[in-house]
Amino acid sequence: MTATPRIVVLGAGYTGVAAAKLLAKRTDASVTVVNNRDRFVERMRNHQVATGHEPRHTTLRELFARTGVRLVVDQVTRVDPWQRQVDLARDAEPIGYDLLVYALGSHADLGGVPGATAHAYAVAVAEEAARLRDKMRTAGAVAVVGAGPTGLETATALAETYPDRTVRLVTGGALGETLSDRGRDHLHRAPGPPGHPGAGARQGRQGRRRRPAPRRRRPDRR
Ligand SMILES: Cc1cc2nc3c(=O)[nH]c(=O)nc-3n(C[C@H](O)[C@H](O)[C@H](O)COP(=O)(O)OP(=O)(O)OC[C@H]3O[C@@H](n4cnc5c(N)ncnc54)[C@H](O)[C@@H]3O)c2cc1C
């Protein structure tokens, strides 16, 4: 270890931002955050991007102002745990660390289902959600696969934003199984046609249904 411990946080989503701020506040270490853009992307708002709503832009510089956290905007290409350093795409000089926080997030598993990589739109990354938004200009029907919180939010937001389209929610498990009893009751009380007789799949034309998600404005009325 060097005299002042060096903490490097990779990724500045919810996890990286919170970790970096707390570490800067509660330790004597120097804290450096590496993220591939100077923008705080709230992944849980990506379904709103997909329905044409542009979330508020907050720069990471703003978030880290007066916190003592140093921000490096670059793509992490490699972590070398033996040398304790991180390689970057643009900067030839690697960043050394004593302690590494790995918070680069997750991605949608498109490779697990044949055809998904070529034909599906994910909402895990803002750019992918924006592709779905563009596709919705011409799509007549959309199937949202997966009925966890992301699938539920995306399906309800799409149905509410595009009431003239058919939105189907497809899940292999029980609808709302990760929700509380109250949340599940609410979901099942929402009126709509009966479930699809497929293997655990549920299908509904949700355009005119009352849904648990909060009301959102149509993008063309912004
Ligand atoms: C549509 C949707 C709805 C959701 N709804 C909810 C909800 O209601 N409640 C809830 O608790 N959770 C929800 N989630 C999940 C929640 O958003 C995530 O769990 C959370 O955002 C994960 O944060 P993270 O910091 O771990 O990762 P991320 O937010 O993915 O952050 C990773 C960061 O690393 C950066 N990065 C990635 N690779 C590199 C690289 N090689 N080099 C440099 N930087 C890189 C990215 O740009 C990003 O800034 C939702 C997610 C989605 C997609």
With beta carbons less than 8 A apart as the criterion, state whether 151 and 171 touch.
Answer: yes
In one-letter notation, the amino acid at residue 171 is T
d(Cα 160, Cα 140) in Å, to the nearest integer?
14
pLDDT band at 191 (very low <50, low <70, confident <90, very high): low
CA 79-93-69 angle, to 5 degrees, is: 75
6-10, 133-137, 154-158, 186-190, range with the lowest pLDDT: 186-190
Could you tell me if 28 and 83 lie in one domain?
A: yes
CATH number (domain holding residue 79): 3.50.50.60
Could you tell me if 88 and 143 lie in one domain?
A: no
With beta carbons less than 8 A apart as the criterion, state whether 142 and 166 touch.
Answer: yes
Of 49, 83, 102, the last residue of a domain is 102
Instruction: For residue range 77-124, list pLDDT tens digits in order.
Output: 999 999 999 999 998 899 999 999 999 998 888 898 999 999 999 998
pTM check: above 0.85: no
CA dihedral 40→29→87→64, nearest 10 degrees, is 20
Could you tell me if 97 and 149 lie in one domain?
A: no
Atom 14 (ligand 1) nearest CA: 44
pLDDT band at 188 (very low <50, low <70, confident <90, very high): confident
Q: Give the per-residue pLDDT at 43.
A: 87
Could you tell me if 143 and 95 lie in one domain?
A: no
Q: Give the per-residue pLDDT at 177.
A: 84
In a domain, residue 32? The reply is yes
Atom 37 (ligand 1) nearest CA: 104
d(Cα 216, Cα 222) in Å, to the nearest integer?
11
Instruction: For residue range 45-87, list pLDDT tens digits in order.
Output: 888 899 988 888 899 999 999 999 999 999 999 999 999 999 9
In a domain, residue 109? The reply is no
- Taking the chain, what is the end-to-end CA distance rounded to the nearest angstrom? 53
What is the whole-number distance in angstroms between the Cα of residue 19 and the centre of ligand 1? 14
In a domain, residue 132? The reply is no
What is the whole-number distance in angstroms between the Cα of residue 16 and the centre of ligand 1? 10
CA 13 to chain CA mean position, Å:
9
Mean pLDDT of 196-222: 39
Name the domain count of the chain: 2
Main-chain dihedrals φ then ψ at residue 145, nearest 5 degrees: -100, 125
With beta carbons less than 8 A apart as the criterion, state whether 190 and 167 touch.
Answer: no
| Ligand 1 atom at minimum distance from 39 CA | 49
What is the whole-number distance in angstroms between the Cα of residue 195 and the centre of ligand 1? 31
pLDDT band at 174 (very low <50, low <70, confident <90, very high): confident
pLDDT band at 135 (very low <50, low <70, confident <90, very high): very high
In a domain, residue 1? The reply is no
Query: What tokens does 97 get?
Result: 């660390």
Atom 12 (ligand 1) nearest CA: 44
In a domain, residue 91? The reply is yes
In a domain, residue 147? The reply is yes
Of 102, 129, 159, the last residue of a domain is 102
Could you tell me if 83 and 15 lie in one domain?
A: yes
In a domain, residue 36? The reply is yes
In a domain, residue 112? The reply is no
Cross-strand partners of 86 = 79, 95
Of 102, 119, 152, the last residue of a domain is 102
Ligand 1 interacting residues, C-beta cut-off 6 A:
11-16, 34-37, 41, 43-44, 46-47, 75-76, 103-105, 123-124, 149-150, 153-154
- Which has the higher per-residue pLDDT, 216 or 98? 98
Domain that holds residue 97: 6-102
d(Cα 109, Cα 43) in Å, to the nearest integer?
16
